[in-house]
Structure 1
Amino acid sequence: MKLLRYGPPGEERPGLLDSNGQLRSLAGVIDDIAGEALLPSALARLRALDPDTLPKVAGDPRIGPCVGQVGKFVCIGLNYADHAAETGATISTEPIVFNKWISAISGPYDALHIPRDSLKTDWEVELGVVVGEGGRNIREQDALQHVAGYCVVNDVSERNWQLERGGTCDKGKGYDSFGPIGPWLVTADEIGDPQALQLWLEVDGKRYQTGSTATMIFTVQEIVSYLSRFMRLLPGDIIATGTPPGVGMGQKPQPVFLRAGQWLRLGVEGLGEQRQLTVQD
């Protein structure tokens, strides 16, 4: 299933994209694509519905973040061997963990706001994991059973605040609009192997990132299991699993960063694509 949320910011309603690309309303079936609606039993009930019986959504509504009421937005850094190489970083023996503030979450086509004090706003296409069944101390061999589905994430990053201003990197990761998710949440049963997906990103039509989840240092199941050792994962939590090479700060002979008036286009195989126009705060 492709689950999504549509409507004005803060007023999103739950929906489903049928096999013909028609948006159908889930209003009256579930309250939101959030929390307990992402548990395996709840997804099974949605899967049993005949989409043709659901009301069609008229017009061209805004598509919002594909998950609502997110509790945690956890990210993994330098998780692609080829991305680590382009930054000159040593490959870590354990996942590098940081957070994006949930206030950074935005829709897949919403404007990307470049902060007024930004010097180095950068892009990062990533595979997002949406937790279904939560838990602690999840065994690695069981970890994929705790995944409700997957989505596209743009882990937008302000490199000056992330890397050059002291303290933790979280400062450069959590600005408003720095966490577009969606356009939809694709349930895990529709994604065969999360370690065999292509990722890509373009700026103004120029391809910068082309990669595959096959080059992840830590797999989805390793990440889910690892995180559950020191935090309780809850339904609707989002995990961004790292980015392939081609980020702005890795460009040669000199880095390239975003400026107002540019278009980003990015996607993950089977999960749809995002488009964002950059605007200056």
Structure 2
Amino acid sequence: MRLGTVRVNEARFAAVEREGLWYALDVPAGTPLETVLAGGLEGTLRLAERAVDRLPDAVPVAPLRPGKIVAIGLNYLDHIREAGMEKPDRPLIFAKFPSSVIGPGEPIVIDSELTGRVDWEAELAAVIGTPLRHASPEEALAGVAGYTVANDVSARDLQFADVQWVRGKSLDTFCPLGPVIVTPDEIANPQALRLRTVVNDETMQDSSTAEMLFGVAELLAYCSRSFTLEPGDVVLTGTPWGCGDFMDPRRSLQPGDVVEVSVEGIGSLRNPVVGQS
């Protein structure tokens, strides 16, 4: 199933996408998709299967507002080589604030008084459907409600100057998510998906989740040993080679750019870049 949140005029609906058309789930208008997911994957699938109310003129927005966003750094072997860094011996965890989330088509806003080195990062994002605490890798993977596309937009100058990464990763609009959440039954192997980033029609990243140092199941199990992953939480699983800050010469996003990140089997997430007004 391809699940999401759509806007029709001023109303929002948790919905399912079928062949490019959106149908409202059988829940009250305005019910957040994360609330639906908390009812369990089987219940969500039943709601999606019986959804018959078509939503004309529906516009996809961010599929959910996560309770927390857990992100993983240096998790792609090709990115580690690109950055000239040592392989970490355990997952490198940081956080992005939920207030950074935007949806497809919404602008990434660059405040030039804060940052001049804004980078893109295409990522596979796992959406949690079942509470996970001290989970095995098998239990962790079974607790995934679905997968979506994320762009871990990063203010590199803030990230590296601050030493810890939260501020540079959490500026408003710096976490595009969407366009849909695809349930695990449609993702045969999360470790065999192509990821791409295109900026102004130029391919910047083109890799595969097979390059992950720590796979999705291992990452979720590792996180769950330290803190509970709750329904609606999102785990960003890292980015491959092709980040602009590691190019020679360095590339950064600028107002007027359009950045599109995609993950095979899920879709593309396209956002314009604007300056702070």
Q: What TM-score do you get using the length of structure 2 for normalisation?
A: 0.94
User: What is residue 92 of structure 1 aligned with on the other side?
Assistant: 88
Residues 202 and 11 of structure 1, relative CA distance in 2, 3 Å threshold? same
**Cα–Cα, structure 1 residues 162 and 10, in superposed 2: closer, same or farther, change >3 Å?**
farther
Specify the alignment match of 1:235 in structure 2.
231
Give the aligned partner of residue 273 of structure 1.
Answer: 268
Aligned CA-pair RMSD:
1.7
Say which structure is richer in strand.
2
Does residue 1:154 correspond to 2:151, yes or no?
Answer: yes
State the Cα deviation string for residues 220-265 of structure 1 (Å, max 9, x = none).
000000000011110010000000100001112x110011001111
Paired residues for 1:238-253 under 5 Å:
238-252=234-248
Alpha-carbon distance in structure 2 between the residues aligned to 1:261 and 1:160: 20
* TM-aligned CA deviation for residue 6 of structure 1: 1.1
SS in 2 for 1:34: helix
The answer for unaligned runs of 5 or more in structure 2 is none
Query: How far did 1:173 drift?
Result: 0.2
| Residue identity matched to 1:139 | S
> Any idea what the Cα deviations from partners look like across 1:149-184, whole Å, max 9, x if unmatched?
000000000000001x23411110001110111100
CA distance in 2, matches of 1:257, 1:44: 41
Deviation string, structure 1 residues 97-128 (Cα, Å, up to 9, x no partner): 00000000110221111123211000000000
Structure 1 residues 259 and 270, CA gap change in structure 2 (3 angstroms):
same
Q: 2:220 aligns with which of 212, 215, 224?
A: 224
Secondary structure class of the residue paired with 2:55: coil
Query: Which of residues 133, 137, 154 in structure 1 aligns to 2:134?
Result: 137
Q: CA deviation at 1:37?
A: 2.7
In the TM superposition, what are the counterparts of 1:1-281 in structure 2 within 5 Å? 1-7=1-7, 12-18=12-18, 20-26=19-25, 28=27, 31-38=31-38, 39-47=40-48, 49-51=49-51, 54-59=52-57, 61-68=58-65, 70-116=66-112, 117-163=114-160, 165-252=161-248, 254-281=249-276
Checking the alignment, whether the CA contact within 8 Å between 1:115 and 1:175 is kept in structure 2 is no
The verdict on how the C-alpha distance between 1:131 and 1:154 changes in structure 2, with shifts beyond 3 A counting, is same
Task: Find the aligned partners of 2:10 and 2:244 in 1 and give their Cα distance.
Answer: 31
Give the drift of 1:66. 1.1
Matched residue SS, 1:45: helix
Q: 1:8 to 1:50 in 2, by over 3 A?
A: closer
CA contact (8 A) 2:195 2:263 kept: yes
**Structure 1: unaligned runs, 5 residues or longer:** none
Partner Cα distance (1:243, 1:185) in 2 = 19
Q: Contact 2:71–2:95 (CA<8 Å) still a contact in 1?
A: yes
**CA distance, structure 2, for counterparts of residue 9 and residue 74 of structure 1:** 32
